[in-house]
């Protein structure tokens, strides 16, 4: 398997195989690999890089899962740093953002698997956010949380989703997929739902007309083959439902967790995962360089290695920062636009469903003019 033969397959529109995926991960020439991914990225999205204005709310970090990879969760309310937001505290986060004159189009809500909260807490949370800003898109609850609600409250996954939809849910985030291989899952997150359960939640959501994202956590103990298997399982579900909007490669961060003896993945690995996922996941429209996970500099570079989206302005991200991310807590739209333009790309503000919100002169001014050199 050579890069040339893989390139021919891509030109002919033939989906890449498992062996192709492994060969791409083993390709020593990162720039050649990047060039190939960039070709596909530019065929799909030209030179556009999208972003949105969003706010993260993590309602609780109390969690029954005890995943080794996590720096965010706390087992009991007595542990230092444990918290559960009251509903008004959670709503105030959105209110503060609206009052600041920098409103968001999306709220991203994810949290721990809290065994002590009633289901109504989550329903009320969404309803309150919608009351504050009716046009807001709420992207909330990873498949792992939805599955936890299903088990804890003894409701079908479909019923959980129906009740959240009625409360204002707009789409699902892609977190919690980690790595599908049971060998890895057993060691890094044994108490989370398994791969089939994770995929089934997304399948159900897609069947109900919801869109979602998907992710892969890399850089712990997984093999290249396990990464490829993970990506291909996502691709297979996408063939079936067409419900995934974006794939987000998530780099493992080792600070403050039970895997802190492991080194973080290198930038070469970050860009390689980004490029290979662009090439393998031909049926998933967007590859997101999540700057909180990659760091600003690597995320900016990833726009030339397959990524066409930089996520959003974020604000108050907790999960990665507790694991050692040195990215800022938030970026302003002008800062994101600058990052994109400085990489020689054209910024486009989008909403959660990738509809264009603003582009060209409608975007806020930033220090670096369009067309300036990186």
Interface ranges with another protein (CB under 8 A): 28, 30-32, 34-35, 38, 47, 254-256, 260-261, 263-264, 266-271, 294-301, 304, 324, 326, 339, 341-345, 368, 370-374
* Nearest distance from C-beta of residue 75 to another protein, angstroms: 17
Smaller CB distance to another protein: residue 67 or 144? 67
Smaller CB distance to another protein: residue 15 or 264? 264
* Nearest distance from C-beta of residue 176 to another protein, angstroms: 23
Smaller CB distance to another protein: residue 32 or 95? 32
* Nearest distance from C-beta of residue 338 to another protein, angstroms: 8
- Per DSSP, the three-state class of 170 is strand
* Nearest distance from C-beta of residue 86 to another protein, angstroms: 29
Smaller CB distance to another protein: residue 35 or 285? 35
Smaller CB distance to another protein: residue 87 or 262? 262
The answer to whether residues 270 and 294 touch, using CB atoms and an 8 Å cutoff, is yes
Smaller CB distance to another protein: residue 34 or 312? 34
Alpha-carbon distance 306 to 226, whole Å?
Answer: 21
Please tell me the number of Cα atoms within 13 Å of 293 on its side-chain side: 22
Alpha-carbon distance 140 to 171, whole Å?
Answer: 7
Contacts of 159 (CB under 8 A, 6+ apart): none
The DSSP annotation for 275-324 comes to HHHHHH-TTS-EEB--HHHH-HHHHHHHTTTT--EEEE-B-S--TTTTTT
* Nearest distance from C-beta of residue 318 to another protein, angstroms: 14
At 348, list the tokens: 């486009």
Question: Rounded to whole angstroms, what are the CA distances from 83 to 78, 227, 237?
Answer: 9, 34, 36
Residue of 205, 190, 198 lying closest to 241 (CA atoms): 205
Smaller CB distance to another protein: residue 15 or 324? 324
In angstroms, how far is the first alpha carbon of the chain from the final one? 35
* Nearest distance from C-beta of residue 335 to another protein, angstroms: 9
At 183, list the tokens: 């060998």
The radius of gyration of the chain from alpha carbons, rounded to an integer in Å, stands at 20
* Nearest distance from C-beta of residue 356 to another protein, angstroms: 20
Pairing assessment for the beta strands 137-140 and 346-350 based on DSSP bridges: unpaired
Q: Spell 196-210 as b/e; 16+ CB within 10 A means b.
A: ebbbbbbbbbbeeeb
The answer to whether residues 126 and 119 touch, using CB atoms and an 8 Å cutoff, is no
* Nearest distance from C-beta of residue 18 to another protein, angstroms: 24
Smaller CB distance to another protein: residue 168 or 295? 295
Alpha-carbon distance 278 to 154, whole Å?
Answer: 38
* Nearest distance from C-beta of residue 137 to another protein, angstroms: 29
Smaller CB distance to another protein: residue 124 or 255? 255
* Nearest distance from C-beta of residue 74 to another protein, angstroms: 15
Smaller CB distance to another protein: residue 193 or 217? 217
Q: Spell 14-26 as b/e; 16+ CB within 10 A means b.
A: eebeeebbbbbbe
């Amino acid at each position: 398997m050579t890069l040339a033969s893989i390139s021919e397959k891509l030109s002919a529109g033939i989906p890449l195989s498992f062996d192709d995926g492994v060969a791409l991960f083993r390709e020593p020439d990162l720039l050649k690999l990047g060039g190939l991914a960039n070709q596909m990225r530019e065929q799909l999205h030209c030179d556009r890089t999208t972003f949105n204005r969003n706010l993260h709310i993590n309602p609780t970090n109390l969690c029954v899962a005890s995943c080794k990879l996590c720096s965010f969760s706390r087992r009991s309310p007595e542990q230092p740093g444990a918290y559960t937001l009251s509903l008004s505290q959670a709503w105030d986060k959105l209110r503060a953002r609206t009052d600041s004159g920098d409103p968001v189009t999306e709220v991203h809500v994810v949290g721990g698997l809290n065994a002590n909260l009633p289901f109504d807490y989550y329903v009320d949370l969404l309803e309150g956010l919608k009351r504050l800003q009716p046009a807001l898109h709420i992207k909330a609850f990873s498949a792992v949380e939805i599955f936890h609600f299903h088990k804890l409250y003894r409701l079908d996954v479909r019923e959980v989703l129906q009740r959240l939809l009625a409360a204002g849910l707009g789409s699902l985030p892609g977190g919690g997929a980690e790595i599908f291989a049971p060998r890895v899952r057993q060691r890094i997150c044994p108490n989370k739902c398994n791969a089939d359960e994770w995929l089934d939640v997304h399948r159900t959501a897609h069947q109900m007309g919801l869109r979602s994202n998907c992710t892969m956590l890399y850089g712990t103990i997984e093999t290249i083959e396990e990464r490829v298997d993970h990506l291909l399982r996502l691709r297979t579900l996408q063939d079936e439902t067409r419900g995934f909007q974006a794939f987000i490669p998530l780099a493992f961060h080792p600070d403050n967790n039970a895997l802190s003896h492991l080194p973080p993945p290198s930038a070469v690995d970050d860009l390689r995962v980004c490029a290979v996922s662009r090439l393998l996941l031909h049926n998933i429209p967007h590859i997101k360089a999540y700057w909180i996970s990659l760091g600003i500099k690597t995320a900016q570079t990833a726009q030339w290695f397959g990524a066409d989206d930089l996520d959003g302005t974020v604000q108050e991200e907790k999960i990665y920062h507790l694991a050692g991310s040195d990215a800022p807590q938030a970026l302003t739209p002008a800062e994101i636009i600058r990052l994109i333009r400085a990489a020689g790309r054209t910024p486009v503000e989008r909403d959660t469903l990738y509809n264009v919100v603003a582009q060209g002169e409608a975007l806020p001014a930033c220090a670096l003019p369009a067309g300036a050199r990186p």
